[in-house]
A and B are shown apart, each in its own frame.
Chain A
Amino acid sequence: MSACDACLRRSWLIARLASHIDLVWGARRGNASLLSLPDEELIAALGGAQRGVLSGEHERFDPAALRRRCASRGVAAFCRCDPAYPAPLADLVDAPAVLYVHGEPARFARTLGADRVAIVGARRASEYGLQQARGFARGLAAAGLTVVSGMALGVDSAAHVGALEADGLTVAVLACGPDVAYPASKRRLHARIAASGAAIAELPPGTPPRRWCFPARNRIIAALAQATVVVEAGERSGSLITAGQAADLGREVAAVPGLVTAPMAAGTNALIVDGAQLVRGPQDVLELLFGAAALELPPAQPDRRAAALEPDLRALLDRVASGADTVTALAGSGGAVDAVLAGLAQLELRGLVRRGPGGRYTPTA
């Protein structure tokens, strides 16, 4: 496990030019060709008046200093020349020169040894989207797959949480240095992922994120995973970029359907129309990857707990699952509010339902 001087120099240069790339990103077609330019041409293309200065810095780059920085922050570096470098990334024309890993390198190797599914989606996700992302991730992680996502707010984070809940493996691909918790509100999640999975990035430790880094890291997510599942995406969501890149790389693309009226499901529903596989649960994803002979999922925990329920609680849970989600709706016209309240409290205590915003109860996925 190591990184050669040339590759370190390359990744340093990308980080050094990050602000320059931000200016031109998206303004020109073929961003991939930008990141695949050789070092000198990259400087020439982006350096402008600072070209000379940048070339000088490039000449004098000290790989030992960067290695020391990595070591001091508990970050490992693999470069393209290293046999441990993830093979799937080689499919990218603009594969990152170095992959920085925050977390145990041996465990990162294990996450790569398993089959990998990316679960991505909207930051502004609905309660339904969050529950689905979490449920898919929990099921797939329990089946031994690695859940890959971007640790963004909303669906991405829910996917990581689901995988962690199942004590499974999960990889967060970050748009900043791998040791930087961005968004900051996910600091605790970042630490948990680093402790039981891995947080990886193409930028050196300590680098803050730039706008272009987010679509750029999506290509790594798309390449790492054999299948990408999109849970809720608006019409112009970044998750659709990930899905497109996955399709370009010949990976499977799947989408979780949503209400046709919901704006945050417009993108996923459109993906299904365009030919993405419709998936209803983790089992569907396994079938997509491994065919009809898919390995059986271990029964999800809630089901086992639900089996032991008293008949009236069971009936109440079924009604929650079939869409009657407020106390009023569950009580019906009879107005048996007291009994419903007590029943919902029992179900909540056993972790079978949870109370969402607006007092709507949803079954825990």
Chain B
Amino acid sequence: MPDVLARVVTFAIDGIDPRPVWVEVDIRPGLPAFRIVGLADAAVREARERVHSAILNSDFDFPARRITANLAPAHLRKVGPGFDAAIAVGLLAASGQCSADALGRWAVFGELSLSGELRPCRGVLAAAEGARRAGLAGLVAPRESAGEAALVEDVAVAAVDDLRGVAAVLDGGDVPPPPPSAPAPIAAVLAPDAPDLADVRGHELPLRALEIAAAGGHNLLLEGPPGSGKTMLARRLPGLLPPLTRDEALEVTRIHSVAGLGHRAGLAGERPFRAPHHTVSPAGLVGGGRPPAPGEASLAHHGVLFLDELSEFSRPTLEALRQPIEDGEIVVVRGQQATRFPSRFMLVAATNPCPCGYAGSDRPCRCGELELSRHRRRLSGPLLDRVDLLVTVARPGAAALGQAPLTSSAAVRERVLAARERQQARLAGTPIHTNAQLDARLLRRHVRVDPAVRRTLAQAYDRGGLSARGHDRVLRVARTLADLAGRDEIELDDVLQALALRTREATDPADVTAA
């Protein structure tokens, strides 16, 4: 048995990015031992036992020598079970049980079971992406995750079932192709089982608000008593948005793959909808932990993040959302490492109108001025500065339940698409795509308002009910309303409607209780 040094390429997942890792296996005479070095975490060190059993159970020999596996570069923290296959292959190659020639062309990624099967694991899509970037010919991946890997173009994917399969590929055998991924999951039509606006009865105002939000990419706050349908409405927003482009879908799939949320079709076909519970921690919401994992805000990337019971979320949790809302990404810093997670989502928040939940409904509200003002304060602050629309959701009356549906998701989506096209044409040459992203400077350049309309806004401003930020929010929404109507000019009606839908400041001077 010749003693050689084998080197296998695999990938560590840093955030959602692949980092190449070289697994070197050295076999020397001496007391039998098997050590793994190179900043490996517990799951990687446990690979020893898995690799040992898997090799024996695959009818290979486990050399009774002094074996050292090194994961390079040594400064990169290696996490998770994805290195099993690479270590086992390195050992086989070093002990001459499989060919080492192909190791410069193939990367190996996967977790081993004790019986030698290659199990699916997180981040296969990112690993395939890494293989492409490293200029390798292909990736050997577990069959169940291979569909994901096949999404990356210019990289051959060998979908194997077990360690024997891996060895066969490296020895120059046939390359088992990955299962065909669904042809074009990004369809212009909605999935038939997706929630549709045609199921909604009543709710004229919220439906209108959803359409405006979808058209302009505006964040939305739904206010209403328990059971009035806030969650039901929010779930229908992803279906109103334009379909994912291929690049967007790849990004979404990569994040979900790293988080262990696989997509059956291989590629994400619909915009994600994430609704974390209000007890979620800041790290759970925006990402973090050791190793840094994407949070709900990143899982909602290119989709909708729904925060039900907004006032119940802890203040630090909500504060943590500021960065993703402003920048569209989150930087998690742990020790020496900074990890980036993309997180560009639409925020839909829902809240009760007051702590008891019944203010303004048919049941009497039992809250006093103190509770109400505390509730209002909890809802105010930097997060709501980024919410353009406030709409009340009331329980529809019995009469509405018998009526025909007011609209359907497909009809609304058509109008949304048209409005988005207008925005794209106007915003061509700027880094932004939707009206909601217009900041004060871009607003001045791209949104023209005639003097009569401006006077109305000034009036609202002078009466003190509108802050400078509120002024911008109203203009953004008015611009979207004009886009929905297919007009270049913003009309008075657009501004008035936007005013009626504006989020209120915590201290609206029209408010007795704030006096």
Contact = CB atoms under 8 A, between A and B. Distances in A.
A189 B515 contact: yes
Contacts of B403: 333
A359 B456 contact: no
Contact of A153 (B204, B369, B492): B369
Nearest to A355: B504
B406 interface: yes
Interface string B166-179: 00000000000000
A337 B463 CA distance: 25
Contacts, number: 125
A123 interface: yes
B496 interface: yes
A264 to B, nearest CB: 8
Contacts of A131: 512
B497 A359 contact: no
A188 interface: yes
Interface in A135-166: 153-154, 157-158, 161
Interface in A266-310: none
B448 to A, nearest CB: 20
A333 B208 CA distance: 15
B483 interface: no
Nearest to A331: B204
Interface of A is mostly: helix
B499 A153 contact: no
A64 interface: no
Interface in B181-214: 202-205, 208
Nearest to B494: A342
Contacts of B29: none
A214 to B, nearest CB: 16
A196 B245 CA distance: 64
B497 A341 contact: yes
A325 to B, nearest CB: 8
A263 B366 CA distance: 9
A345 interface: yes
A8 to B, nearest CB: 34
Contact of B500 (A153, A333, A345, A354): A345
B367 interface: yes
Interface string A320-344: 0000001110010101011001111
A316 B161 CA distance: 71
Interface stretch (B275-283, B285-293, B352-360): B352-360
Contacts of A126: 364-365
B513 interface: yes
Interface of A: 123-127, 130-131, 134, 153-154, 157-158, 161, 185, 188-189, 259, 261-264, 326-328, 331, 333, 335, 337-338, 341-346, 348-349, 351, 354-360, 364
A328 B365 CA distance: 20
Contacts of B512: 130-131, 134, 157-158, 161
B204 A328 contact: yes
Q: Report the contact-size class of chain B (Cβ under 8 Å from the partner).
A: 35 or more
18 contacts: A123-B369, A134-B512, A153-B369, A157-B515, A158-B512, A161-B512, A263-B366, A327-B204, A328-B202, A337-B204, A342-B496, A343-B496, A345-B500, A348-B510, A358-B223, A358-B224, A358-B353, A358-B365
Nearest to A338: B497
B225 A342 contact: no
A359 B223 contact: yes
Nearest to A262: B364
Contact of B205 (A185, A328, A360): A328
B491 to A, nearest CB: 10
A146 to B, nearest CB: 19
Closest 10 pairs between A and B when the two form their complex, measured CB to CB:
A358-B360, A359-B392, A124-B368, A357-B359, A342-B496, A345-B499, A341-B500, A345-B496, A358-B353, A345-B500
Nearest to B363: A261
A327 B392 contact: yes
Contacts of A264: 364
A307 to B, nearest CB: 19
Contacts of B511: 354
B373 interface: yes
A259 to B, nearest CB: 8
B372 interface: yes
A250 B268 CA distance: 78
Interface of B: 202-205, 208, 223-225, 353-354, 359-361, 364-370, 372-373, 391-392, 394, 396, 399, 403, 406, 456, 459-460, 463, 465, 492-493, 496-497, 499-501, 504, 510-513, 515
A338 B493 CA distance: 8
A264 B369 CA distance: 13
Nearest to B392: A359
B450 to A, nearest CB: 16
Contacts of A345: 496-497, 499-500
Contact of B510 (A346, A354, A357): A354
Nearest to B457: A349
Contacts of A153: 368-370
B373 A185 contact: yes
A185 B364 contact: no
Contacts of B205: 327-328, 331, 337, 341
Nearest to B224: A358
A292 to B, nearest CB: 32
Contacts of B366: 124, 263
Contacts of A189: 515
B181 to A, nearest CB: 43
B360 A359 contact: yes
Contacts of A346: 496
B392 A326 contact: yes
B410 to A, nearest CB: 19
Nearest to A342: B496
A335 to B, nearest CB: 5
B501 A341 contact: yes
Given A161-B515, A357-B365, A358-B223, A344 B360 contact: no
Contacts of A349: 456, 459-460, 463, 499
Contacts of B496: 341-343, 345-346
A358 B352 CA distance: 8
A134 B369 CA distance: 14
Nearest to A133: B512
A356 B512 CA distance: 10
A263 B363 CA distance: 11
A346 B456 CA distance: 9
B369 A342 contact: no
A326 B394 contact: yes
A356 B500 contact: no
A267 to B, nearest CB: 14
A350 to B, nearest CB: 9
Pick from B204, B225, B368 the residue with the most CB of A within 10 Å.
B204
B369 A154 contact: yes
A91 B316 CA distance: 57
Nearest to B205: A327
B326 to A, nearest CB: 28
Contact of B368 (A154, A262, A335): A154
Given A349-B463, A364-B510, 19 more contacts: A123-B368, A123-B370, A157-B512, A188-B515, A328-B204, A328-B396, A338-B208, A338-B497, A341-B496, A341-B501, A342-B500, A354-B510, A357-B359, A357-B365, A357-B372, A358-B353, A358-B361, A358-B392, A359-B353
Nearest to B515: A161
A342 B493 contact: yes
B406 A335 contact: yes
A364 B504 CA distance: 17
A188 B507 CA distance: 13
A346 B406 CA distance: 27
Nearest to B376: A357
Contacts of B396: 328
A344 B372 contact: no
Pick from A153, A331, A355 the residue with the most CB of B within 10 Å.
A355
A364 B205 CA distance: 23
